[in-house]
Structure 1
Amino acid sequence: MFPKGQRHKLAVALYLLIWFVGCFWLFGLVYSGTLQSWGGIKLEAVKEFALYAMAGAIGGTLYALRLLHEYYDAPMTERWLMWYLLRPIKCGGAAIITIILFQSGVLLLQTNDSIGAKIGIAFLVGFGYGKVLDKLRSLTETLFNGNGKHDGVDTPKDKDDLAR
């Protein structure tokens, strides 16, 4: 029916669509209070963080869907397969940590302190995951190296926007 490479792309597209729609669905359940617990964890205590994670995953998944569409004719390598599979998870986690860094005052951003503003930031963190990690890497180097420069060691970077 479909060549092997095409089946992988269709499977990745389906996987990303399930993440995309599933996060919106879970977001609604958590936000409305319909879903009270998940795996034995009462969500009331972590409700905001669950919303941030889902918003980040939605942003990351939207970016991945856009990239899958843009490079649909390119071959699907194992590297890119793993990139697509891990993107929603990494973006959800990065969104939570970034909001915590803003709330703690480590990162400064002039914005409304409402949950809507934080959810919007979480979405943007997921969508711009590679750029956010570059900024966090720069901040970490500045805080712990003192000069913001590498100490002669070239570390690998996660480049989301590299052309295939």
Structure 2
Amino acid sequence: MTPETLRFAAVMLAAGIGIPLLAALNARLGARIGSPAAAATVLFVVALSATFLVLLATGGTRALASLPGQPKHLFLGGLLVAFYVLSVTWVAPRFGVGNAVFFVLLGQMISAATIDHFGLFGAIQKQVTLTRAGGIGLMAAGLFLIQRG
């Protein structure tokens, strides 16, 4: 593996570690204040503040000027993030953080395989082989076993 590959893997591993933490922390905040929607709003205010600071620090503010000319469907990512945060904040305390995140992970694998297979949204095209499909199937089987136990 190249150093760049290792660096990318480390960043995404850290992001993956953060997903259950985000779910647990925001679910707890939502339960303590009595509103998953309010907890999600707080999360987004903190996230917006952090990303705005990164935007300023990296000089990315000029890129904002090109936003009006972008295809509107590219902005749906914001709605998907809102759906994820709202749903995990509401579901995790009732279903368990592990269960909630595992279903999220399964959905991510299915969606990622589909995006890669068809090269959607400019992604590098990578066929869903029998091995890749089998891996997703094994993950689904693992989910079934976890739910039974």
- Shorter chain as denominator, the TM-score bin is 0.3 to 0.5
Higher helix proportion: 2
